A = this chain, B = another copy of it.
Amino acid sequence: MTEPAGPRVRAGVEQGVGTVVFDNPTRANALTLAMIRTAPQVLAGLADDDAVHAVVVRGAGRRAFVSGADVTEFAASRATPDAARAFDTALDEFWAAWASFPKPVVAALHGACVGGGLLLALLADVRVAGSSSRFAAAAAAIGAGLPVWAVDALRRAVGPAHAMEMLLGAQWVAAPHAARVGLVNHVVPDAEVDGAVTHLVRAIAAGAASGGLEAGALWRARGRPAP
């Protein structure tokens, strides 16, 4: 089947591993409202599919993981107060769907991982990054505050001092520093990210399939309240 052109969420399942791809490469994989609304449905399907034991999340291409909301859409998608409220609700549901997803998630990180992309990466359980990837809490020019849960997630990942520096300094963190401070699990050469993620997620899927980690322990290991 020929896939539709334009921004979309792609999903698939292979060898026990589901994959979710945010595909809007001309806009650094920014999230359109349609993508924001589709992802929770995709996740619900992967959660219900007994053949899926772990999930990979990634962006299309190697220039960026995922950006935040696609601001070029805002004139249309947030045109009225009602539309803006509906947009915000959809975004809340998007984050909640990732936060409560009951199977392990591995993020494959290429290029820029900033703002909403950093939040999405923090909701994954394991992060593998390419050596030229880079990370920021928010673009300095925007300086928008992160939601409370994201501040907590960042602090849990890197500790209070590095979290504070990323939250306020608004400077890019390069991949080696990201590994050193615990923002990502591993940094590998860019060309090896996909292979490393596949190797790791299949081992995780096999572990999950064999009952290595029951649901309660999954939530405990994540270190955040069960939804």
Interface segment among A15-23, A42-50, A198-206: the answer is A198-206
Minimum Cβ distance to chain B for residue A202 (Å): 10
Q: Is the interface of A mostly helix, strand, loop or mixed?
A: helix
Minimum Cβ distance to chain B for residue A9 (Å): 24
| Residue A146 CB within 8 A of the other chain | yes
Return the contact of A221 from the options B160, B206, B211, B212 (Cβ within 8 A).
B160
Give the complex CA separation of A217 and B168 in angstroms.
Answer: 11
Q: Is the CB of A168 within 8 A of B207?
A: yes
Q: Which residues of B contact A125 (CB under 8 A)?
A: 160-161, 164-165
Considering only CB atoms, which chain B residue lies closest to A223 in the complex? B160
Q: Which residues of B contact A157 (CB under 8 A)?
A: 159-161
Minimum Cβ distance to chain B for residue A102 (Å): 13
Give the complex CA separation of A168 and B151 in angstroms.
Answer: 26
Q: Which residues of B contact A138 (CB under 8 A)?
A: 212
- A145-B214, A148-B220 as given contacts; A185 in contact with B165, CB under 8 Å: yes
Q: Which residues of chain A have a CB within 8 Å of any CB of chain B?
A: 54, 104, 125-127, 138, 140, 143-146, 148, 151-152, 154-157, 159-165, 167-171, 179-182, 184-185, 200, 203-204, 206-208, 210-214, 216-218, 220-224
Q: For the complex of A and B, list the 6 residue pairs with the smallest distance between their C-beta atoms, beginning with the closest.
A: A143-B210, A143-B212, A125-B164, A160-B223, A168-B204, A168-B207
